[in-house]
């Protein structure tokens, strides 16, 4: 009894504060249907931070980008409604970065990541084991097909939509999370090693369960781009753990191999269905031909550079299955590369590889442009991702 009382006095529990709740609503606004609160909360974050010093170079870059794009869109005949939609969808991330940069209390921590992963697990368990339609399959963003039909990949197996209500977006974010947490030690500074390992494993499993080819390609891209950083990490850990006996290392390796084989066995039906329906040459050829046909609609160099005539277009025509192509259509190649250059400039050097992966994964459904993606990549560019949990127990 005395031991329990001593342990209780030796720890303190930090409960979620207003900023934690604000980040939760922002990150999960799509899945909880709170999109209407997204930009008011972003404006609130910006307003709270305006009393602090603002870096003039970044502010000027942001204003110039938004001003150029606004003028370009209006000159091509867009309505005010279409202008608002295009700025919100393609350039809203600039305002999100401003909110995270100005209000340093806004951070994505381990608590939000655990909820992100938990929603993926809940979705798969609810549908595959209990045969209950999860809330993500009842979301109004899922249209034109039965939710179960879109999630099914064959053999009675379903993939998860995740917090972004889109398998490609959620899976790509999880793939980037995995490499960010694994390679960036500063992100893991406020979480103990065992908790970090468990979280990393769950992030990887959730990424697999999203069953998205776009996410898998993003993961493969990051394997190549992050290889030098991973090798440096392995050399560092080898130097630190040089005292470890060979028998202990062998035992750890055996546990890892057995754990991997167990996961493969448990996921065998899922992987078999996934490879049969998505990870094959026929499906990739179909996607390539479909994207090529869409890209051929740009008729002139001027359309490619500045965007097409926007007279008569409605806000509902924004986005689609090939989002970067739609961005080139609506804001032009100059606007698309201008945004990439601005984000690259805002983003810390160690996080730029993850920003690039997010931008490339946006070829399909717009990983970096949807609300969930805007929050994750906005926090990434503002260096506001740290695995400190809202309700973690911190030893004194």
Report the candidate in 156, 153, 171 with the shortest Cα–Cα distance to residue 277.
153
Rounded CA gap, 349 and 223, in Å? 18
**Average pLDDT, rounded, for the chain:** 75
pLDDT of residue 97: 93
Residues 6+ apart with CB under 8 A from 105: 17, 19, 48
Report the candidate in 155, 175, 87, 148 with the shortest Cα–Cα distance to residue 376.
175
The residue to which tokens 């009382």 are assigned: 5
Residue 108 has pLDDT above 70, yes or no: yes
Give burial (CB, 10 Å; 0-12/13-18/19+) of 178.
buried
Residue 19 has pLDDT above 90, yes or no: no
Q: Do 387 and 190 touch, CB atoms closer than 8 A? A: yes
Q: Find the radius of gyration of the CA atoms of the chain.
A: 22
Least confident stretch, 203-207, 226-230, 321-325, 388-392: 388-392
Neighbours of 179 (CB within 10 A): 23
Residue ranges making up the domain that contains 323: 2-239+248-395
pLDDT interval class at 41 (50, 70, 90): very high
Report the candidate in 200, 208, 230, 173 with the shortest Cα–Cα distance to residue 378.
173
Rounded CA gap, 228 and 189, in Å? 21
pLDDT of residue 119: 92
393: β partners: 13
Average pLDDT over residues 328-335: 86
Q: Do 92 and 331 touch, CB atoms closer than 8 A? A: no
**Cα-Cα end-to-end distance for the chain:** 20
Least confident stretch, 178-182, 276-280, 298-302, 359-363: 276-280
Least confident stretch, 132-136, 253-257, 286-290, 378-382: 253-257
Query: What is the separation of C-alpha 245 from the centre of its chain, rounded to a whole number of angstroms?
Result: 39
pLDDT of residue 257: 55
SS3 153: strand
pLDDT of residue 263: 58
- Structurally, the chain folds into a number of domains equal to 1
Residue 27 has pLDDT above 70, yes or no: yes
pLDDT of residue 92: 92
pLDDT interval class at 216 (50, 70, 90): confident
Rounded CA gap, 141 and 282, in Å? 28
Average pLDDT over residues 306-326: 80
Rounded CA gap, 26 and 42, in Å? 8
């Amino acid at each position: 009894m005395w031991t329990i009382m001593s342990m209780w006095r030796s720890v303190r529990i930090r409960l979620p504060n207003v900023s934690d709740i604000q980040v939760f609503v922002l990150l999960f606004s799509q899945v909880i249907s709170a999109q209407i609160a997204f930009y008011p909360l972003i404006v609130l974050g910006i307003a709270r931070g305006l009393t602090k010093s603002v870096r003039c170079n970044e502010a000027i870059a942001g204003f110039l980008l938004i001003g150029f794009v606004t003028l370009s869109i209006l000159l091509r005949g867009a309505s005010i409604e279409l202008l608002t939609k295009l700025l919100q969808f393609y350039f809203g991330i600039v305002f999100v970065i401003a909110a995270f940069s100005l209000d340093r209390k806004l951070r994505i921590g381990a608590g939000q990541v655990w909820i992100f992963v938990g929603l993926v697990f809940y979705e798969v368990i609810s549908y595959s084991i209990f045969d209950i339609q999860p809330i993500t399959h009842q979301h109004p963003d899922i249209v034109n097909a039965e939710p179960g039909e879109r999630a099914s990949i064959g053999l009675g197996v379903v993939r998860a939509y995740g917090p972004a209500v889109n398998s490609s977006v959620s899976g790509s974010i999880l793939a980037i999370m995995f490499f960010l947490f694994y390679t960036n030690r500063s992100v893991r500074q406020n979480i103990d090693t065992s908790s970090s390992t468990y979280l990393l494993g769950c992030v990887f499993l959730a990424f697999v369960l999203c069953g998205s080819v776009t996410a898998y390609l993003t993961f493969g891209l990051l394997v190549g781009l992050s290889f030098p950083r991973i090798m440096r990490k392995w050399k560092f850990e080898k130097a630190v753990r040089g005292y470890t006996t060979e028998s202990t290392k062998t035992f750890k390796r055996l546990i890892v191999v057995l754990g991997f084989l167990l996961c493969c066995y448990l996921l065998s039906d899922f992987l078999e269905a996934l490879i049969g329906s998505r990870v094959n040459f026929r499906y990739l050829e179909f996607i390539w031909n479909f994207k090529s046909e869409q890209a051929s609609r740009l008729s002139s160099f001027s359309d490619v550079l500045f965007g097409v005539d926007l007279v008569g277009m409605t806000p509902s025509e924004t986005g689609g299955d090939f989002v970067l192509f739609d961005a080139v259509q609506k804001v032009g190649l100059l606007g698309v590369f201008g945004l990439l250059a601005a984000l690259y400039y805002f983003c810390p050097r160690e996080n730029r590889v993850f920003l690039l992966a997010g931008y490339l994964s946006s070829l399909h459904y717009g990983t970096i442009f949807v609300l969930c993606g805007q929050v994750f990549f906005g926090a990434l560019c503002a260096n506001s991702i740290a695995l400190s949990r809202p309700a973690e127990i911190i030893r004194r």
